Amino acid sequence: MAETHKAGVIRFYDTHPINEDEILAKLAARGDDLAHLTEDQLKDFDQDHYGGIEVVDTLAARAGIARAHRVLDVCSGMGGPARWLAHRIGCRVTGLDLTLSRVEAARRLTRRVGLDGLVDFVHGDATAMPLPTAAFDRVVSQEAWLHVPDKPAVVRECARVLVPGGVLAFTDVVLRAPLAAHEERRLAAEMHAPGVLPASDYLALLARNGLAVASSEDLSAAWTEILVRRLAMYRGLRDTTVAKFGQAHYDAWDATYGFFVGLFAAGKLGGLRAVATRAAGAAPAR
C-alpha cells in the first residue's frame, strides 16, 4: 500500500470511537473488576465489526475451525474475534493489523483475560504479510479489506499463508450499484476505502488464486440494519469521543459515518460473506 494511504488508515483507527479506553470504561461502569477480567465479560464490548460474537461464531462454523487449527485473523484490530475464537474453540490464533496502536491494545486486552498463551498479534501489512508460507489452517477477516486498495494482493497473501486444503472465510463491504464520482472520492478520502469491489469480482479473485469458493452470502440487508444502529451507538459516544479527540473530530466522524451508512440505505453498498478452500498444489496468482 502507498504510504499516504497507510497513514490515513492508521489515523482513522488511531482516532476511532471504539478504543481500549472506551472498552475499559464501559466494563468499569458495569461494575466489572478490571484486575480480574474474563473473556466472557470483555466480549460484550471489544467486537469492533458488524454483529458481535454471533457472527464470529458463524464465520468459524463456515470455516470449520477446530481446536487443532492454527488460525490467522487478517486486519484483527483490537483482537476481539481472535480472543473469542481461542476462548470458545481453544485454537491458536494470530492477529495481523496495520495499526500499531490497535496491535498494542489487542496485546494488553489479551493479557488481561489470560489468553496470551493462545493468541498473539503481529504488526504488518495485509498485502505483504510478515508471515511464513503455508503456516495457517484457517484464515479469517471481517469488514476490513475495504481499506485495502490492492485487493488482489491481500487475497494472494491469504492464499500464500494457507496450507493446501486450508480455508479462507471473510466478510467485506461490496459494491451493489455504481457510485457517483463525488461519492467515490468521499469514500476514498474520508473512509479510506478506495476501489470497493462488487461481490462477483471478489469471487473471481478467489478463483484466480487457487481458492475454490464453497459458499457466498449476501449480507446487505442485515448490515444496513446493523449500521443504522451502529451510527446511533457512535452518536451515543459523543461525550467520550469529544473528550478524547475534540469536537471537530467528532463532527467530522459523524458526517463521514452518516454518509457511509447512507450508501447502504441507498442500496449502493452491501456486504458479502465468502468461504473458499485452497486446493492442494494450487499456487496463488502472480
| Direct distance between the N- and C-terminal alpha carbons of the chain, in angstroms, rounded to an integer | 17
What is the rounded CA–CA span in Å between residue 6 and residue 127?
A: 11
Grid cell of 260 as nine digits: 457511509
What is the rounded CA–CA span in Å between residue 206 and residue 203?
A: 5
3 part of the active site: no
Q: Which of 3, 104, 143, 183 is catalytic?
A: 143
DSSP per-residue codes, the chain: --HHHHHHHHHHHHT-SS-HHHHHHHHHHHT--GGG--HHHHTTT---SSSHHHHHHHHHHHHT--TT-EEEEET-TTSHHHHHHHHHH--EEEEEES-HHHHHHHHHHHHHTT-TTTEEEEE--TTS-SS-TT-EEEEEEES-GGG-S-HHHHHHHHHHHEEEEEEEEEEEEEESSPPPHHHHHHHHHHS---SPPBHHHHHHHHHHTTEEEEEEEE-HHHHHHHHHHHHHHHHHTHHHHHHHH-HHHHHHHHHHHHHHHHHHHTTSEEEEEEEEEEPTT-----
Q: Which residues are catalytic?
A: 143
